[in-house]
Amino acid sequence: MRILNPATGALITEIPEDGAFAVRKKYARARSASAAWAATPIGKRIDAIRRFREQVVARHETLARTLTEEIGKPIRQSRNELNGLLPRLDFFVAEAARALREEKVHADAKEKLEERITHEPLGVIANISAWNYPYFVGSNVLVPALLAGNTVLYKPSEFATLTGQHIGEMLHAAGVPADAFITVLGSGMSGAALLRQPVDAVFFTGSYATGARIGAAAGRKMIKVQLELGGKDPVYVCDDADLKAAAASLADGAFYNTGQSCCSVERIYVHERIHDAFVDAFVAEVKGFRTGDPMDESTYIGAITRQPQLDVLRRQVADARRKGAKLLTGGNVVKGKGNWFEPTVFAGVDHRMALMRDESFGPIIGIQKVASDDEAVALMNDTEYGLTAGVYTPDEKRARRILSRVRAGSAYWNCCDRVSPRLPWSGVGHSGIGLTLSTYGIQTFTRPKAWHLRGA
């Protein structure tokens, strides 16, 4: 497997891919380690994750540079991802024992009856992960899964292979047994080989297209499956919003990580009373973003990680222009080495355009004028996805009224593109099934067992 730098096209290294035989052997190791890891006291498992955190802190700059080199993320944003990982680890470490402890839910002394719930590990789980935030999407799954006593077969995306290797090395250095956490390296083929093993559960982060296939296969096997998939996340800017503040916040929400976030702002609706002034302020923000060498400290827009995505973006631009949208800035693939696309803003868009319907996953956004809150709600809901949605207004009641009518896993008032370890992260529709983060996102890696205990 050739690991390429998406910013330059240069070869970073070559790594042998795990074929079907290697994957089978790795599965057998994970299965044989399962009982011992499940029986390891929770305190020891928590200590291991604490030491993993220490590893992340100690290796911070090396990890950030590897991430930037292999996925083209601007170096400051790679550091931000690692900094953001720490509070997630702190949350899991602080909450795991409470979330996983045995619960007494009923006691009847006269009947000598007790009812209890224990949280049993699922067993051997397959974690197939995306490349865009490998530390976030990886740790949302593999950390609580390990804390809950599961052994984990972790397949990072081929585009985040070196980061996946770092994660494995750090967990092992932290004391997680080599067979309790195993990295499976390779492309989608290795992922498919992993899913042919008799794992007990599948936790997948990636696109709707792949997720739908994986969900169907898991359904036939009757194993637990969680799918964290894409989005086409909408935001509505009301007529009473602070338009300069909203423009700055939304430009960041749409273009951070070069627009390659599951919860990137992908559609903006603006009330007609402030539409033109908002568009001017938004375009000014975007024109201020610096595109360039991802290792440069001042770079904000980095490379497009997967080369085929350039075609998706190119097609969305052509389609929007053909159907009458107004291109305000950008619109082109940048010629030269590596994968680059200009930050692109359209106004005058509508829902006939792919730009407003299909996940873009790149530095491109459409802004649509609306006449009322009702029209905004109807357009926000006119999608198969449902990951996040936001409203900008000083009026909390108005924001809550609108957001309570929008079908999405997360609701944002005057903010966007934000994830908290304390809150569940989930999607509806094509954005997925299940959740990570919050205490629910620890318990999701367990099977609640019901105990009916009657004394003699």
- Contacts with ligand NDP by CB under 6 A lie at 128-133, 137, 155, 157-159, 187-188, 191-192, 195, 205-207, 210, 213-214, 228-231, 262, 359, 361, 387, 427, 432
d(C-alpha 234, C-alpha 380), whole Å: 6
Task: Provide, rounded to whole angstroms, the least separation between the CB of residue 27 and ligand NDP.
Answer: 14
Cβ atoms 224, 235 nearer than 8 A: no
- Cβ proximity of 394 and 242 under 8 Å: yes
Q: Tell the smallest beta-carbon distance from residue 211 to ligand NDP (Å).
A: 7
- Shortest reach from residue 186's CB to ligand NDP, in Å: 7
Q: From the CB of 246, what's the least distance to ligand NDP, in Å?
A: 23
User: Would residue 4 be called left, alpha or beta, if left means φ above 0 and alpha means ψ between -120 and 50 degrees?
Assistant: beta
**Beta carbon nearer to ligand NDP, 249 or 257:** 257
Between 215 and 294, whose beta carbon lies closer to ligand NDP? 215
Cβ pair 266, 254 in contact under 8 A: yes
Give every CB contact of residue 366 below 8 A, 6+ residues apart in sequence: 267, 268, 320, 325, 346, 347, 349, 353, 355, 356
| Angle between helices 275-287 and 243-255 in degrees, nearest 10 | 50
In this complex, which beta carbon is closest to ligand NDP, that of residue 206 or of residue 215?
Answer: 206
Instruction: State how beta strands 435-436 and 425-426 pair.
Output: antiparallel
Least distance between ligand NDP and beta carbon 454 (Å): 44
Q: How far is the CB of 324 from ligand NDP (least distance, A)?
A: 27
Greatest pairwise CA separation for the chain in angstroms: 80
CB of 163 to ligand NDP, least distance (A): 12
Identity at 454, one-letter amino acid code: R
Side-chain half-sphere CA neighbours of 421 within 13 A? 20
By DSSP bridging, strand 265-271 and strand 410-413 are unpaired
Q: How far is the CB of 136 from ligand NDP (least distance, A)?
A: 7
Nearer to ligand NDP, 150 or 161 (CB): 161
In the complex with ligand NDP, the residue whose CB is nearer, 197 or 291, is 197
Beta carbon nearer to ligand NDP, 37 or 159: 159
* DSSP single-letter state for residue 352: T
- Among residues 253, 227, 272, 252, the alpha carbon closest in space to that of 386 is found at 227
d(CA 274, CA 246): 11
Q: How far is the CB of 387 from ligand NDP (least distance, A)?
A: 6
User: Parallel, antiparallel, or unpaired: how do β-strands 181-183 and 151-155 relate?
Assistant: parallel
| CB-nearer residue toward ligand NDP: 158 or 373 | 158
- 3-state SS, residue 397: helix
160 secondary structure, DSSP code: G
330 vs 427, beta carbon nearer ligand NDP: 427
In terms of CB distance, is 22 or 38 closer to ligand NDP? 22
C-alpha dihedral, 329 to 330 to 331 to 333, nearest 10°:
180
Closest to 345 measured CA to CA, from 359, 361, 326: 326
